[in-house]
Amino acid sequence: MRTPYYESTIHRQIREKRENRKDRIKDDLMHYGNDVLQSEEMKKAFEQTHHQWSTVGEHTFRVAFSSVMICYALRKLNIKVSIPAVVIGALCHDLGILGRNEKFSSARECSIEHPKESVEVARGLVSDMPDKTEDIIERHMWPIGESEAPNSIEGVVVSVADKYSAVKDLVKGSEVKNTGVKNYFNTEKQKIVEKIKQKTSEEDS
């Protein structure tokens, strides 16, 4: 039978492993994606709402983190993946959506055109673009809409991480304070508090 001491050691090891992995991901993002991270576009990304409750910036970071984590798992299975291509692809994949209301006339047009716009933004930000990056960005909407499937495993990684992160955006909302983006949980919490107050005041009267 496992003793509490033994259990706590395992939990500590898991926590340390996770923390090390987070640090490794951060290092990879800063090492390969520094030009994108320092850009004006990335700053603006935190000011535009995305997936209803989040920002383009937070969504981008979620996609980049998940993509690199999937790459580590694939490498453990001896599957070769290019982390620089994935990092730059993930960080730039939605930068073309900035200013969507001015650029696109409908949601459909936005969904089809923003990957191409993102490729243009990436070209302007990164001087030495890894081989597969443009394809990763251009086909990141797959399997949604009219997008064709990516030509590389790195493209599939970013596409899958994009869909997973979109769900996370909807469920978790914005975790960055003062972005001006509505936070789903705060809004819902406020509604519940108001209902309780109303109920109590009705009972009192």
Q: Rule CB under 5 A: is residue 154 a binding residue for Fe ion?
A: no
* Nearest one of 182, 183, 180 to 47, comparing CA atoms: 180
Q: Rule CB under 5 A: is residue 162 a binding residue for Fe ion?
A: yes
Q: Rule CB under 5 A: is residue 134 a binding residue for Fe ion?
A: no
Which span sits near Fe ion by CB under 5 A: 3-11, 100-108, 148-156, 161-169? 161-169
CB of 104 to Fe ion, least distance (A): 12
Q: What is the rounded radius of gyration, in angstroms, for the C-alpha atoms of the chain?
A: 20
Any residues with CB less than 8 A from the CB of 61 and at least 6 apart, and which? Answer: none
CB of 12 to Fe ion, least distance (A): 35
State phi, psi for 49 to the nearest 5 degrees. Answer: -65, 145
Q: Which two tokens stand for residue 77?
A: 């299975």
Applying CB under 5 A, among 94, 138, 154, 169 the residue interacting with Fe ion is 94
Return the exposure string of 175-187: e unless at least 16 CB atoms fall within 10 Å of the residue's CB, then b.
eeeebebebbeee
Contact string 44-83 vs Fe ion (x = CB under 5 A): ----------------------------------------
| Residues of the shown chain interacting with Fe ion in the complex, contacts defined by CB under 5 A | 94, 162
